[in-house]
Chain A
Amino acid sequence: MSSLATKLKGRSELGVALLLGAAGGLVLWDAAGLVTPYSKSDPVGPKTVPYLVAGLLIVCAVMLAINVLRGGHGEAEGGEDVDLTHPADWKTVLPLVGAFVANILLIDWAGWVIAGTVLFWGSVLALGSRRYVRDGLISVALSLLTFYGFYLGLGISLPAGLLEGIL
């Protein structure tokens, strides 16, 4: 038991293998549920490719699991603004996701201008800016500009929501 625990420690990448396996299983299960009579004009049918894809995913899942257990690991991606020397900073990511979710919940009901403002303001705050007033003004301006830009320039009317009639 404890040897298993030590083996699993620091092997979060096994989660990737699990995800691949689950995705493969899902594709397999879905394809098996399709009912199609054999047709001469379509000998391949809608099932063949899903089966192949499921196979690929499951094989990858197994091989990745073996690879990870043997000590292999994927390289995290770098970039201009990426500093891999510190661990993942969930205190930034989670509020950011929160702002995103708030936007999803608000967009149909409150409209793009409000939802967009919440998204941008929340994201900037989550990413560490502390100039609340300036950030707020920029958020409102950006949302309004895109709202009217899309409406006038592209003929796409984003939802006005609560501000219906004012905008």
Chain B
Amino acid sequence: MDVFTSLMDGFATALTPMNLLYAVIGVILGTAVGVLPGLGPAMTVALLLPVTSVLEPTSAFIMFAGIYYGGMYGGSTTSILLNTPGESSSVVTAIEGHKMAKAGRAAQALATAAIGSFVAGTIGTTLLAVCAPIVVKFAVSLGSPSYFAIMVLSLLAVTAVLGSSRLRGFASLGLGLAIGLIGMDSVTGQRRLTFGQPLLTDGLDIVVVAVAIFAVGEALWVAAHLRRTPLNVIPVGKPWMGKQDWKRSWKPWLRGTAFGFPFGALPAGGAEIPTFLSYVTEKRLSKHPEEFGHGAIEGVAGPEAANNASAAGTLTPLLAMGLPTNATAAVMLAAFTGYGIQPGPQLFESQGPLVWALIASLFIGNFLLLIINLPLAPLWAKLLQLPRPYLYAGILFFATLGAYSVNLQAFDLVLLLVLGALGFMMRRFGLPVLPLILGVILGPRLEGQLRQTLQLSAGNPAGLWSEPIAVGIFIIVAIILVWPLLLKLWRRSRPQTAMASTGGSDGTGTANGTDVLPEDAAAELPADNVTTPAEHAYSNNEPVHSRRRQEKP
């Protein structure tokens, strides 16, 4: 009832012509960058931060929401038409989607992805609207010890669970935390890591860091390894589905949603695990298991729904607790801070209209995606043909523009280049980018909570575990940390499974020596037994990643 009225107010705000326009811009922009290689929703939101600073926060976030959902959708188009997923979350879609496209069923694959995304996005957003206030009720009862613990958990989870090498994840996190330290300490006014440079006193602008790592690093990295052979894009008409396709799609959509939302809401849940689980489930339950591997529509419908539902799930901890669990959410958090809005449980209280307008705009954005993208699919396919020199020169151009326009000082461009070189190096040596970004954004907040906690306990470290929730979370943190050790012991007792799951968790990242062809990897993946979701994630992390990284020559 309360939720409903708030939501209706949100719709009233979001449906004003101006805000509707921003939603349309966001959705189109988001889909475009989702389709275009080298650009993702996180980078786009980061690039737009300076531009949107002149907008009302509500309008800006309505646009960001459109970009976020649009980016998720655009990724599936690339997967289906090109077989080269840009985001790790659309890896699974490529398995069946590209096969369908090759068999002349690209239109149906795109349609089930679009409609599935709509269904999942709508259900996911409804769940967000219902769950977020409940999470808030729980979150306001938490003190700084619990917050500290939750932040530690989300940093560790992203670092240790995602990605193929924990060691490299922690290295990236360390770099991010160090970057986050730069500037004046908020409590004592001490200058840290500024080297007497007055321009560093206010710390590094998050826009500069994000744009450097995502955009400049990516452009330089691609430039070093630019594919000179033209990509083979499968031409496509207007997406449509027959009666049989609908019949085979609707259940996977719903099941995919059920997988996606909870995983998205978890710290480090992400979209990779639920899309994968959805694929495995659909393969099991399908009446046409023989079609899997040759273009089964269920294998597109389920994972795409899971992907979009997890996007909605991600917004739950972001809005209810101020906790980002993926790169786009992290940049959106930076945007909140840029507007002087403190994200956290008070957000619903203090910025109620903004939050509900944002949630309403998610519904609207979803609907827009459906009605805009079904007819525009052929156009998006054309976008894939954009000459690469223009694309990457354009990324550099707008990265420079975005970073420069924040403070109008050339020094920021020097930082942009230096951090861009860091981003290049990280891509070269397999350091994941997400822990660094989260470290930069969450690091200072983490330190704030730590100092507040110990201030309350008068310097007694026992203050850190003075709340039961905090204790529980620290236990989970401990489990995450010792998990690889437990896994090793467990493997030793069951030697058969040991071979199947090396590399994912031992931090050496050596499993990539094998020349697994995409097809082989894809065919082998679902054959593993599903145990627990977490265990499954571990045992399959490596093949999924290597599939993403080792493209067909």
List which B39-77 residues lie within 8 A (CB) of chain A.
50-51, 54
Output the least CB separation between A166 and chain B (Å): 20
A71 touching B510 by the CB < 8 A rule? yes
Given contacts A46-B190, A74-B509, contact A92 B397 (CB under 8 A): no
Task: Give the segment of B218-226, B268-276, B530-538 that binds chain A.
Answer: B218-226
Question: How many angstroms from the CA of A54 to the CA of B229 in the assembled complex?
Answer: 44
A79 touching B222 by the CB < 8 A rule? yes
B192 touching A31 by the CB < 8 A rule? yes
Given contacts A80-B82, A80-B86, A83-B227, contact A116 B397 (CB under 8 A): yes
List which B377-407 residues lie within 8 A (CB) of chain A.
387-390, 392-394, 396-397, 400-401, 404-405
Question: How many angstroms from the CA of A42 to the CA of B195 in the assembled complex?
Answer: 24
Question: How many angstroms from the CA of A57 to the CA of B410 in the assembled complex?
Answer: 30
Output the least CB separation between B552 and chain A (Å): 10
Chain A at the B interface: SS class: helix
List the B side residues contacting A100 at CB < 8 Å.
216, 396, 400, 413, 417
| Residue of B with least CB distance to A42 | B187
List the A side residues contacting B237 at CB < 8 Å.
none
| Residue of B with least CB distance to A39 | B188
List the A side residues contacting B218 at CB < 8 Å.
79
A127 touching B388 by the CB < 8 A rule? yes
| Proximity string of chain A (39-60) to chain B, C-beta cutoff 8 Å, 1 when within and 0 when not | 1111111101110011011001
**Contact of B408 (CB < 8 Å), options: A24, A67, A103, A158:** A158
B393 touching A82 by the CB < 8 A rule? no
Task: Give the segment of B102-110, B244-252, B332-340, B423-431 that binds chain A.
Answer: B423-431
Output the least CB separation between A9 and chain B (Å): 16
**Contact of B396 (CB < 8 Å), options: A42, A90, A96:** A96
**Contact of B223 (CB < 8 Å), options: A50, A89, A103, A119:** A89
List the B side residues contacting A82 at CB < 8 Å.
221-222, 225-227, 551
A83 touching B225 by the CB < 8 A rule? yes
| Residue of A with least CB distance to B508 | A72
A78 interface residue, CB < 8 Å from B? Answer: yes
Question: How many angstroms from the CA of A119 to the CA of B3 in the assembled complex?
Answer: 50
Chain B contributes a number of interface residues (CB within 8 A of A) equal to 87
List the A side residues contacting B26 at CB < 8 Å.
none
A8 interface residue, CB < 8 Å from B? Answer: no
Task: Give the segment of B302-310, B451-459, B476-484 that binds chain A.
Answer: B451-459
Output the least CB separation between A127 and chain B (Å): 4
List the A side residues contacting B178 at CB < 8 Å.
23-24, 26-27, 53-54, 57
List the A side residues contacting B404 at CB < 8 Å.
107, 112, 158
A164 interface residue, CB < 8 Å from B? Answer: no
A127 touching B170 by the CB < 8 A rule? no
| Residue of A with least CB distance to B224 | A88
Output the least CB separation between B27 and chain A (Å): 20
Task: Give the segment of B116-124, B493-501, B541-549 that binds chain A.
Answer: B541-549
Question: How many angstroms from the CA of A109 to the CA of B405 in the assembled complex?
Answer: 16
A84 interface residue, CB < 8 Å from B? Answer: yes
Output the least CB separation between B73 and chain A (Å): 16
B413 touching A104 by the CB < 8 A rule? yes
B174 interface residue, CB < 8 Å from A? Answer: yes
B175 interface residue, CB < 8 Å from A? Answer: yes
B512 interface residue, CB < 8 Å from A? Answer: yes
B550 touching A78 by the CB < 8 A rule? yes
A10 interface residue, CB < 8 Å from B? Answer: no
**Contact of A34 (CB < 8 Å), options: B190, B390, B447:** B190
Question: How many angstroms from the CA of A77 to the CA of B509 in the assembled complex?
Answer: 13
B9 interface residue, CB < 8 Å from A? Answer: no
B396 touching A123 by the CB < 8 A rule? yes
| Residue of B with least CB distance to A57 | B174
Of residues B54, B167, B218, B231, which shows the largest number of chain A Cβ atoms within 10 Å of its Cβ? B167
Question: How many angstroms from the CA of A70 to the CA of B165 in the assembled complex?
Answer: 15
A124 touching B428 by the CB < 8 A rule? no
| Residue of B with least CB distance to A157 | B408
List the A side residues contacting B388 at CB < 8 Å.
81, 127-128
A5 interface residue, CB < 8 Å from B? Answer: no
List the A side residues contacting B443 at CB < 8 Å.
49, 53
List the A side residues contacting B408 at CB < 8 Å.
156, 158-159
List the A side residues contacting B257 at CB < 8 Å.
none
B205 interface residue, CB < 8 Å from A? Answer: no
A77 touching B414 by the CB < 8 A rule? no
Question: How many angstroms from the CA of A38 to the CA of B546 in the assembled complex?
Answer: 51
- The 7 A-B residue pairs whose C-beta atoms are closest, nearest first, are A74-B430, A43-B459, A80-B37, A123-B393, A78-B549, A127-B389, A83-B227
A-B contact pairs, 14 of them (CB 8 A): A23-B178, A27-B181, A42-B451, A46-B187, A50-B192, A53-B174, A56-B173, A74-B429, A76-B427, A78-B548, A80-B38, A82-B227, A89-B226, A119-B396
Q: Beyond A49-B177, A103-B413, list 9 extra A-B contacts (CB 8 Å).
A: A40-B459, A79-B86, A81-B388, A82-B221, A82-B222, A84-B550, A123-B396, A123-B397, A146-B401
Chain B residues packing against A (C-beta within 8 Å): 37-38, 50-51, 54, 78, 82, 84, 86, 164-165, 167-168, 170-171, 173-175, 177-178, 181, 185, 187-188, 190, 192-193, 195, 216, 218-229, 231, 387-390, 392-394, 396-397, 400-401, 404-405, 408, 410, 413-414, 417, 425, 427-431, 443, 446-447, 450-451, 454-455, 458-459, 507-510, 512, 545-546, 548-551, 553
